Amino acid sequence: MDDYAGLVAVVTGGASGIGAATADLLADRGARVAVLDRDLSTAEPRHLGVECDVTDRASVDAAVGRVVAELGGLDVCINNAGIGAQGDVAANDDDEWHRVLDVNVVGIARVTAAALPHLRRSRAAAVVATSSVVARVGLPQRALYGASKGAVLALTLAMAADHVAEGIRVNCVAPGTADTPWVGRLLDAADDPAAAAAQLRARQPMGRLVTAAEVASAIAYLGSPLSGSTTGTVLTVDGGLSALRLPPR
Protein backbone atom coordinates (compact mmCIF):
# COMPACT_ATOMS: atom_id res chain seq x y z
CA MET A 1 0.00 0.00 0.00
CA ASP A 2 1.37 3.44 -0.91
CA ASP A 3 -1.20 5.73 0.73
CA TYR A 4 1.64 7.77 2.31
CA ALA A 5 3.53 8.32 -0.95
CA GLY A 6 4.76 11.89 -1.13
CA LEU A 7 3.86 12.65 2.51
CA VAL A 8 6.13 13.64 5.39
CA ALA A 9 5.26 12.25 8.81
CA VAL A 10 6.61 13.10 12.24
CA VAL A 11 6.34 10.48 15.01
CA THR A 12 7.07 11.59 18.56
CA GLY A 13 8.32 8.83 20.81
CA GLY A 14 9.15 7.05 17.56
CA ALA A 15 12.29 5.35 18.84
CA SER A 16 10.49 2.64 20.82
CA GLY A 17 7.34 0.54 21.09
CA ILE A 18 4.18 1.83 19.41
CA GLY A 19 5.96 4.86 17.96
CA ALA A 20 8.73 2.76 16.40
CA ALA A 21 6.19 0.36 14.86
CA THR A 22 4.27 3.36 13.51
CA ALA A 23 7.36 5.01 12.02
CA ASP A 24 8.27 1.75 10.25
CA LEU A 25 4.74 1.19 8.93
CA LEU A 26 4.37 4.72 7.59
CA ALA A 27 7.75 4.44 5.85
CA ASP A 28 6.74 1.08 4.38
CA ARG A 29 3.64 2.80 2.99
CA GLY A 30 5.65 5.52 1.29
CA ALA A 31 6.13 8.31 3.86
CA ARG A 32 9.35 10.13 4.57
CA VAL A 33 9.45 9.77 8.36
CA ALA A 34 11.08 11.82 11.10
CA VAL A 35 11.36 10.31 14.56
CA LEU A 36 11.30 12.91 17.34
CA ASP A 37 12.46 11.36 20.59
CA ARG A 38 14.44 12.38 23.65
CA ASP A 39 16.40 9.12 23.33
CA LEU A 40 17.34 8.11 19.79
CA SER A 41 19.55 5.17 20.83
CA THR A 42 16.96 2.63 19.66
CA ALA A 43 15.70 4.62 16.65
CA GLU A 44 15.62 2.90 13.26
CA PRO A 45 18.38 4.55 11.16
CA ARG A 46 16.33 4.63 7.94
CA HIS A 47 14.20 7.45 9.47
CA LEU A 48 15.37 11.01 10.10
CA GLY A 49 16.17 10.96 13.81
CA VAL A 50 15.77 14.28 15.61
CA GLU A 51 16.57 14.50 19.29
CA CYS A 52 13.65 16.32 20.89
CA ASP A 53 12.10 16.63 24.34
CA VAL A 54 8.38 17.38 23.98
CA THR A 55 8.43 19.21 27.34
CA ASP A 56 10.77 21.86 25.92
CA ARG A 57 9.16 24.30 23.46
CA ALA A 58 12.47 25.45 21.99
CA SER A 59 13.47 21.83 21.39
CA VAL A 60 10.11 21.11 19.71
CA ASP A 61 10.24 24.22 17.52
CA ALA A 62 13.80 23.43 16.43
CA ALA A 63 12.92 19.79 15.70
CA VAL A 64 9.89 20.67 13.56
CA GLY A 65 11.96 23.32 11.76
CA ARG A 66 14.64 20.75 10.97
CA VAL A 67 12.10 18.23 9.68
CA VAL A 68 10.57 20.78 7.32
CA ALA A 69 14.00 21.95 6.13
CA GLU A 70 15.31 18.42 5.52
CA LEU A 71 12.16 16.62 4.33
CA GLY A 72 10.42 19.49 2.57
CA GLY A 73 7.24 19.89 4.63
CA LEU A 74 5.06 18.20 7.21
CA ASP A 75 1.76 16.45 6.45
CA VAL A 76 1.12 13.98 9.25
CA CYS A 77 1.85 14.59 12.93
CA ILE A 78 1.78 11.53 15.20
CA ASN A 79 1.75 12.63 18.85
CA ASN A 80 2.72 9.40 20.55
CA ALA A 81 5.42 10.23 23.15
CA GLY A 82 4.18 9.43 26.62
CA ILE A 83 5.20 8.29 30.07
CA GLY A 84 3.38 6.27 32.72
CA ALA A 85 2.37 6.74 36.33
CA GLN A 86 1.02 4.33 38.88
CA GLY A 87 -1.12 4.83 41.93
CA ASP A 88 -4.33 6.30 43.28
CA VAL A 89 -5.01 10.04 43.44
CA ALA A 90 -2.85 10.46 46.56
CA ALA A 91 0.13 8.47 45.31
CA ASN A 92 1.94 11.17 43.35
CA ASP A 93 3.15 14.57 44.51
CA ASP A 94 2.62 17.84 42.63
CA ASP A 95 5.93 17.58 40.81
CA GLU A 96 5.00 14.15 39.43
CA TRP A 97 1.53 15.35 38.37
CA HIS A 98 3.12 18.25 36.50
CA ARG A 99 5.84 16.05 34.97
CA VAL A 100 3.43 13.47 33.54
CA LEU A 101 0.87 16.01 32.30
CA ASP A 102 3.70 18.03 30.75
CA VAL A 103 4.79 15.08 28.60
CA ASN A 104 1.45 13.41 27.89
CA VAL A 105 -0.77 16.46 27.36
CA VAL A 106 1.19 19.70 27.00
CA GLY A 107 3.72 17.89 24.83
CA ILE A 108 0.97 17.20 22.29
CA ALA A 109 -0.07 20.87 22.35
CA ARG A 110 3.53 22.02 21.78
CA VAL A 111 4.22 19.66 18.89
CA THR A 112 0.88 20.29 17.19
CA ALA A 113 1.23 24.07 17.57
CA ALA A 114 4.66 23.92 15.93
CA ALA A 115 3.32 21.69 13.15
CA LEU A 116 0.17 23.74 12.39
CA PRO A 117 1.64 26.30 9.95
CA HIS A 118 3.05 23.42 7.89
CA LEU A 119 -0.09 21.27 8.16
CA ARG A 120 -2.09 24.19 6.76
CA ARG A 121 -0.01 23.97 3.58
CA SER A 122 -0.56 20.20 3.22
CA ARG A 123 -3.10 18.54 0.93
CA ALA A 124 -3.42 15.62 3.39
CA ALA A 125 -3.00 17.10 6.86
CA ALA A 126 -3.65 14.78 9.78
CA VAL A 127 -2.85 14.69 13.48
CA VAL A 128 -3.09 11.45 15.46
CA ALA A 129 -2.46 11.13 19.20
CA THR A 130 -1.99 8.09 21.39
CA SER A 131 -4.53 8.15 24.19
CA SER A 132 -5.36 4.97 26.13
CA VAL A 133 -8.21 2.72 27.13
CA VAL A 134 -7.90 4.26 30.62
CA ALA A 135 -9.28 7.52 29.21
CA ARG A 136 -12.74 5.92 29.21
CA VAL A 137 -12.55 2.93 31.53
CA GLY A 138 -11.90 3.24 35.25
CA LEU A 139 -8.94 1.01 36.04
CA PRO A 140 -7.37 0.90 39.51
CA GLN A 141 -4.10 2.72 40.29
CA ARG A 142 -4.23 4.89 37.17
CA ALA A 143 -5.40 8.27 38.56
CA LEU A 144 -2.67 10.47 37.11
CA TYR A 145 -2.06 8.43 33.96
CA GLY A 146 -5.80 8.12 33.30
CA ALA A 147 -6.31 11.86 33.78
CA SER A 148 -3.52 12.57 31.30
CA LYS A 149 -4.97 10.22 28.68
CA GLY A 150 -8.51 11.56 29.23
CA ALA A 151 -7.09 15.00 28.50
CA VAL A 152 -5.59 13.64 25.26
CA LEU A 153 -9.08 12.58 24.20
CA ALA A 154 -10.57 16.00 25.03
CA LEU A 155 -7.68 17.80 23.33
CA THR A 156 -8.24 15.67 20.22
CA LEU A 157 -11.91 16.73 20.05
CA ALA A 158 -11.08 20.42 20.63
CA MET A 159 -8.33 20.45 17.99
CA ALA A 160 -10.57 18.60 15.51
CA ALA A 161 -13.21 21.32 15.93
CA ASP A 162 -10.71 24.17 15.66
CA HIS A 163 -9.04 22.97 12.48
CA VAL A 164 -11.66 21.06 10.47
CA ALA A 165 -12.36 24.10 8.27
CA GLU A 166 -8.64 24.28 7.43
CA GLY A 167 -8.66 20.71 6.17
CA ILE A 168 -6.70 19.34 9.13
CA ARG A 169 -8.09 16.12 10.61
CA VAL A 170 -7.42 15.22 14.26
CA ASN A 171 -8.02 11.79 15.77
CA CYS A 172 -6.60 9.52 18.45
CA VAL A 173 -6.16 5.85 19.22
CA ALA A 174 -6.92 4.21 22.56
CA PRO A 175 -4.71 1.15 23.00
CA GLY A 176 -5.19 -1.43 25.70
CA THR A 177 -2.13 -3.01 27.26
CA ALA A 178 0.35 -3.33 24.43
CA ASP A 179 3.42 -5.51 24.21
CA THR A 180 6.09 -2.76 24.21
CA PRO A 181 9.38 -2.13 26.06
CA TRP A 182 7.41 0.05 28.50
CA VAL A 183 5.20 -2.86 29.61
CA GLY A 184 8.26 -5.10 29.62
CA ARG A 185 9.94 -2.74 32.10
CA LEU A 186 6.84 -2.77 34.35
CA LEU A 187 6.73 -6.57 34.36
CA ASP A 188 10.48 -6.83 35.00
CA ALA A 189 10.01 -4.66 38.09
CA ALA A 190 7.41 -7.06 39.57
CA ASP A 191 8.41 -9.49 42.34
CA ASP A 192 7.59 -12.39 40.02
CA PRO A 193 7.69 -11.14 36.39
CA ALA A 194 6.39 -14.42 34.90
CA ALA A 195 3.42 -14.50 37.27
CA ALA A 196 2.71 -10.81 36.64
CA ALA A 197 2.77 -11.41 32.88
CA ALA A 198 0.40 -14.38 33.22
CA GLN A 199 -1.96 -12.30 35.39
CA LEU A 200 -1.91 -9.49 32.84
CA ARG A 201 -2.72 -11.85 29.97
CA ALA A 202 -5.55 -13.42 31.98
CA ARG A 203 -7.23 -10.00 32.22
CA GLN A 204 -7.32 -9.66 28.42
CA PRO A 205 -10.44 -11.01 26.69
CA MET A 206 -8.22 -12.36 23.89
CA GLY A 207 -5.79 -13.90 26.38
CA ARG A 208 -2.90 -11.89 24.96
CA LEU A 209 -1.64 -8.33 24.87
CA VAL A 210 -2.25 -5.98 21.98
CA THR A 211 0.76 -5.79 19.66
CA ALA A 212 2.54 -2.54 18.83
CA ALA A 213 2.01 -3.36 15.13
CA GLU A 214 -1.78 -3.51 15.65
CA VAL A 215 -1.80 -0.07 17.27
CA ALA A 216 0.49 1.25 14.53
CA SER A 217 -1.96 -0.04 11.94
CA ALA A 218 -4.81 1.96 13.55
CA ILE A 219 -2.63 5.09 13.75
CA ALA A 220 -1.63 4.65 10.11
CA TYR A 221 -5.28 4.44 9.07
CA LEU A 222 -6.20 7.64 10.93
CA GLY A 223 -3.19 9.50 9.52
CA SER A 224 -3.84 8.38 5.95
CA PRO A 225 -6.01 9.96 3.25
CA LEU A 226 -7.91 6.63 3.38
CA SER A 227 -9.67 8.03 6.49
CA GLY A 228 -10.28 11.38 4.78
CA SER A 229 -13.78 11.88 6.22
CA THR A 230 -12.83 10.89 9.77
CA THR A 231 -12.06 13.55 12.37
CA GLY A 232 -12.66 13.93 16.10
CA THR A 233 -12.79 10.20 16.71
CA VAL A 234 -11.07 7.67 18.92
CA LEU A 235 -10.17 4.25 17.54
CA THR A 236 -9.94 1.67 20.31
CA VAL A 237 -7.38 -1.13 19.96
CA ASP A 238 -7.72 -3.07 23.19
CA GLY A 239 -8.62 -6.67 22.35
CA GLY A 240 -12.17 -6.06 23.57
CA LEU A 241 -11.10 -4.97 27.07
CA SER A 242 -13.36 -1.90 27.24
CA ALA A 243 -16.36 -3.36 25.40
CA LEU A 244 -16.65 -6.88 26.78
CA ARG A 245 -17.48 -7.55 30.39
CA LEU A 246 -15.84 -10.93 30.81
CA PRO A 247 -14.30 -12.53 33.92
CA PRO A 248 -10.51 -13.12 33.85
CA ARG A 249 -9.50 -16.28 31.97
Which active-site residues does the annotation give? Answer: 145
Closest distance of CB 226 from ligand NAD, Å: 22
* Binding-site size, ligand NAD (CB under 6 A): 28
**Contact characters 160-199, ligand NAD, x per CB under 6 A:** ---------------x-xx-xxxx----------------
Handedness of CA 20, 25, 26, 32 (dihedral sign): positive
Q: Does 218 engage in binding with ligand NAD (CB under 6 A)? A: no
User: Please, which residue, 16 or 112, has the CB nearer to ligand NAD?
Assistant: 16
CA angle 210, 211, 214 (to 5 degrees): 95
Nearest to 11 by CA among 65, 67, 72, 55: 67
**Contact characters 111-150, ligand NAD, x per CB under 6 A:** -------------------x-x------------------
Residue 226 backbone phi and psi in degrees, to 5? -60, -25
Exactly one of 7, 10, 17, 218 binds ligand NAD (CB under 6 A); that residue is: 17
Interactions with ligand NAD, residue window 33-92 (CB under 6 A): 37-39, 52-55, 80-83
| Residues binding ligand NAD (CB under 6 A) | 12-13, 15-19, 37-39, 52-55, 80-83, 103, 130, 132, 175, 177-178, 180-183
